[in-house]
A = this chain, B = another copy of it.
């Protein structure tokens, strides 16, 4: 596992106090985090600073965002080597019972047969259901 400093250096994002704690928090969590999740976890950091940090991270491929339909965008740290290209795309799982969203890094998206002349750039693939913990 890389440290926050290493990741930011690789992705060419300047290291600041807010960026370090936001990235550290994201790395420490198993499930994807919303802006509010992060705000709640970091009591002394302003929401707008976290918001702008997330934008910066996303622009620089430090993290990727997930629209899981819960009304709040979730964020997760990109895997090592990820460049957010089509080849790096993977599915996400949203548990409709416990509200947990996370990356299925092991479930890459299969080749999708798009209509003639369409170009794939990105994807937001969210599978919904019950996680193992809630499916009992």
Residues in chain B near residue A115, CB distance under 8 A: 93, 104, 132
Q: A93-B115, A104-B114 are in contact. List 20 more A-B contacts (CB 8 A).
A: A67-B68, A68-B124, A93-B114, A93-B118, A104-B115, A107-B112, A112-B127, A114-B127, A114-B129, A118-B129, A118-B132, A119-B135, A120-B127, A121-B128, A121-B129, A122-B127, A123-B125, A123-B128, A125-B125, A125-B126
Partner of A112 from the list B91, B114, B116 (CB cut-off 8 Å) is B91
A interface residues, tally (CB under 8 Å): 31
- Indicate if A113 sits at the interface (CB-CB under 8 A): yes
Chain B's nearest CB lies how many Å from the CB of A15? Answer: 29
